Amino acid sequence: MKNKLLLLLSLITVSGFSQNAPINFETSGNGATWNWITFENGANAPLQIVANPSATGINTSSTVAKLTTLITGATFAGVESVHQLSVPSGPSAFGTYSITASNCTVKIMVYKSVISDVGIKFVNPTNGSTGEIKKSNSVINQWEELIFDFSSKIGETNDQIVIFPDFQTRTTDNICYFDNITFGPEIEKPNLPLDFESGTITYSFSNFGNAVTTKIPNPQSNGINTSSNVAKLIKNAGTTWAGSFIELANAVDFSVVNSIKMKVYSPYAGKTFKLKLENLTNAAFNIEVDAVNTTANAWEELTFVFPNVVNANNYKRVVVFCNFGAVGTGETYYFDDIKLNTNLSASTFDLESVKLYPNPCADLLTIQVATPISDCVLYNSLGQVVNRFDVNTNEYTFNLSHLDAGIYYLNFMVNDELFTKKVIKK
């Protein structure tokens, strides 16, 4: 009972300290005199407060924080402020940070010699954390401001900030500078269609696997895409599943259609583009679908069909993978106009007129339709492609003898519109 009382009193003491921000590492500001702890960085050299190495551009402040991340350090090497409980006598630590709609957007300026992820997380007095959010810098040897969205953590209270300035496996020791950590109101998030044209919306991408995605002016304004802005994804050497995600203001609405279109520009043809949708708070609610491009160095529109999508799962995170399954080489992809395939809702084609028999089937499945069909693709219940069929006829028999028993979804095109039929394999 005594220990519980002491813990309660400690938490009450913590609540008496407000958040100390912005963290600007100036003599008269916050951060410069705090007791920062370096972790998992080889010999764990301390965080240094040094003169700004390049007082130009967006950051002309006098002093900044410097951490050299070492080859011998872990991928997640970094620094953390001490808990406010450790310094209860004054504003010499981070203080308490109660995340609200007015302070959930965290910005940090970084100056690095390499492209890699920067991670930020917050920790509460009992060492529970928000989990880190990672963003990659897109330029080297100049100041850049990264934006971190903690709106999904509104309501949580923390008293420690943790910074991972170089979240990667290193082949060299890397000098990282960071500065001007600020806290602001919730940013305006986009919705579908994602066309990257708004001047007020912040298109904030989070990257993983050493991919880097940014909004840029359209460098290939031709063909089917003459829009002003697009997303650029650089797939650096790293993992086969490198990609980026962006969060939406509202969940994707699959109440009418079950497919999404996306325009892509790739240096290669025949590559797999994966589109994954996730719930923001429940990792179990996710669904992903692949599509393969057929054209190199030209805009092409791909269609992603989600055959067993559950609309109630509230998918508000859109994840894009380019050339999925292959390790990046530093190549560049562009994508744009991610939108629901609304052509389906205005169709005059009678889907009920399609004859699919026998269904359930053992080995052979026949489709009959009055209007010729094409581009037949069979998906399993996870949304993965299991077969593509070269069809351009009114009647066709599929051989499904190699498939396991279960539920599948047959997608096909009629007059440039996409339709789906459920298939049961015995």
- What are the tens digits of pLDDT across the range 292-335? 999 999 999 999 988 778 889 999 999 999 999 999 999 999 99
| Nearest Cα to Cα of residue 415 among 396, 399, 392, 397 | 392
pLDDT at 343: 63
Q: Is 50 exceeded by the pLDDT of residue 340?
A: yes
In angstroms, the Cα distances linking 321 to 233, 250, 288, 291, 371 are 9, 22, 10, 11, 35
Q: Is 50 exceeded by the pLDDT of residue 1?
A: no
pLDDT at 346: 45
Query: What backbone torsions phi and psi does residue 395 show, to the nearest 5 degrees?
Result: -145, 135
The pairing of strands 206-208 and 144-149 is unpaired
How is 171-208 classified by DSSP, letter by letter?
SS-EEEEEEEEEEEPPPPPP-SSB-S--SSS----EEE
Q: Give the length of the chain.
A: 426
Q: How many CB atoms lie within 10 A of CB 297?
A: 10
What does the pLDDT average to over 344-361?
Answer: 75
Q: Is 60 exceeded by the pLDDT of residue 160?
A: yes
Q: Is 50 exceeded by the pLDDT of residue 87?
A: yes
Domains assigned to the chain: 2-184 (2.60.120.260), 206-344 (2.60.120.260), 348-425 (2.60.40.3080)
Distance CA 65, CA 71 (A): 20
What is the reported pTM?
Answer: 0.67
Which residue did the predictor score with more confidence, 415 or 276?
276
Confidence of residue 349 (pLDDT cuts 50, 70, 90): low
% of the chain exceeding 70 in pLDDT: 92
Confidence of residue 247 (pLDDT cuts 50, 70, 90): very high
Side-chain half-sphere exposure of 276, counting CA atoms within 13 A: 20
pLDDT at 281: 84
In single-letter form, the type of residue at position 265 comes to Y
Q: What is the pLDDT of residues 13-47, one digit of tens each?
A: 334 457 788 999 999 899 999 999 999 999 998 99
Which residue did the predictor score with more confidence, 92 or 76?
76
Distance CA 120, CA 22 (A): 15
Of the listed ranges 101-105, 187-191, 309-313, 381-385, the one predicted with least confidence = 381-385
**Residue reference for tokens 């052509």:** 343
Residue 189 contacts residue 248 (beta carbons within 8 Å): yes
What does the pLDDT average to over 180-196?
Answer: 94
Instruction: Work out the mean pLDDT of the chain and round it to a whole number.
Output: 89
pLDDT at 47: 96
Confidence of residue 345 (pLDDT cuts 50, 70, 90): very low
Q: Is 50 exceeded by the pLDDT of residue 2?
A: no
Distance CA 61, CA 178 (A): 11
Which residues in 236-292 belong to E strands, given as ranges?
A: 243-247, 259-265, 272-278, 286-292
pLDDT at 91: 63
The pairing of strands 286-292 and 331-340 is unpaired
pLDDT at 371: 84
pLDDT at 347: 52
What does the pLDDT average to over 266-295?
Answer: 93
Residue 340 contacts residue 304 (beta carbons within 8 Å): no
Distance CA 309, CA 257 (A): 10
Q: What is the pLDDT of residues 392-422, one digit of tens each?
A: 888 999 999 999 999 888 888 887 677 788 8
Q: Is 50 exceeded by the pLDDT of residue 88?
A: yes
Residues whose CB is less than 8 angstroms from the CB of residue 282 and which lie 6 or more positions away in sequence, other chains included: 313
